[in-house]
Amino acid sequence: MGTQSYPSSPTEPGPANRDRAGAELARTLPYLRRYARSLTGRQSAGDAVVRALLECSLHDPDVRAEIRNGPISLFRAFTRLWKSMELPSPAGAMSDPGSQIARVPSLPRQALLLHQLEGFSVAQTGAILGLPESEAEGLVQQAIGELGLDEPVRVLVIEDEGLIASHLESIVAEAGHRVVANATTAAQARVLFERERPHLVLSDVQLADGSSGVDAMDAIAELSDVPVIFITAFPELLLTGERPEPAFLIGKPFRDETVRTAISQALFFGSHGRQ
């Protein structure tokens, strides 16, 4: 979804289109939860705002119609609610590595996440935030400039495809950080993590020997609460709501800017992103 071009046309009335609207809402909600967690750094906090929006729609037919009118309308309704109940950063986040992202005010951070993590165009980002396209572009560029202040950290990559692992290493380096090791299996990931003790992990989900990046991170979580960014061609496998979901999740194929944004966001919120 991070590279998807969202439709901007409203849904027409009629039973068939109402069914399509319901299906589109169900498909988009997991990605709204991802966005909400990226703003708050916590699954519980992000999901609480999304849940509040859905509860509001049960009692307000205008809100109910709006959130069923496509992804842009859904995210716009979420944004209004978020402004009214914006949550503070998690305690302790300011001491995490790379915490200069805290200098990025909420509105530029929202613009950056909408555009570079969720894949909305600048014009769509402006529509969601209620801003002209030119102002949305300025906010995105402001946030990008602020994110360049991150302190360097050590990164472990868990990826079994060599070209992708090399590409991630170059993105990490361009962001001012350093990949200290690359694992291709869950077992190797645990060994390398114990040896290198990185500050951040970038992990695929499906690995070379049939093992899982999720299993690797469950094992690593027993050693440390290091933040992790999952990068996978199958994000829907982790957005089921049936188990704790990652706050930082990128779909393949990915854009370099999306990975850099997720790295800064993960370093700001640190381990809180796994809660």
Q: What is the pLDDT of residues 164-209, one digit of tens each?
A: 999 999 999 988 899 999 999 999 999 999 999 999 999 998 888 8
pLDDT score recorded for residue 101: 37
The matching CATH number, chosen from 3.40.50.1370, 3.40.50.2300, 1.10.390.10, 3.30.365.10, for 154-274 is 3.40.50.2300
Whether 218 contacts 191, CB under 8 Å: no
Q: What is the rounded (10 degree) CA torsion for 190, 171, 79, 45?
A: 20
- Cα separation values, 114 from 70, 126, 221, Å: 15, 9, 29
CB 203 within 8 A of CB 192: no
Reduced 3-state DSSP string for 102-118: HHCCHHHHHHHHHHHHC
Phi, psi of 179 (to 5 degrees): -80, 120
Tokens 């992202």 identify what position? 101
**pLDDT for residue 114 is more than 60:** yes
pTM comes to: 0.68
Domain ranges of the chain: 154-274
Contacts of residues 5-12 at CB distance under 8 Å and 24 or more positions apart, as own/partner, are 5/119, 5/121, 6/70, 6/71, 6/72, 6/119, 6/120, 6/121, 6/124, 7/70, 7/71, 7/72, 8/70, 8/72, 8/124, 8/127, 9/70, 10/69, 10/70, 10/73, 11/68, 11/69, 11/70
DSSP 8-state symbol, 91: T
pLDDT digits (tens, 9 = 90+) for 57-102: 999 999 999 999 999 999 999 999 988 875 444 433 333 333 333 4
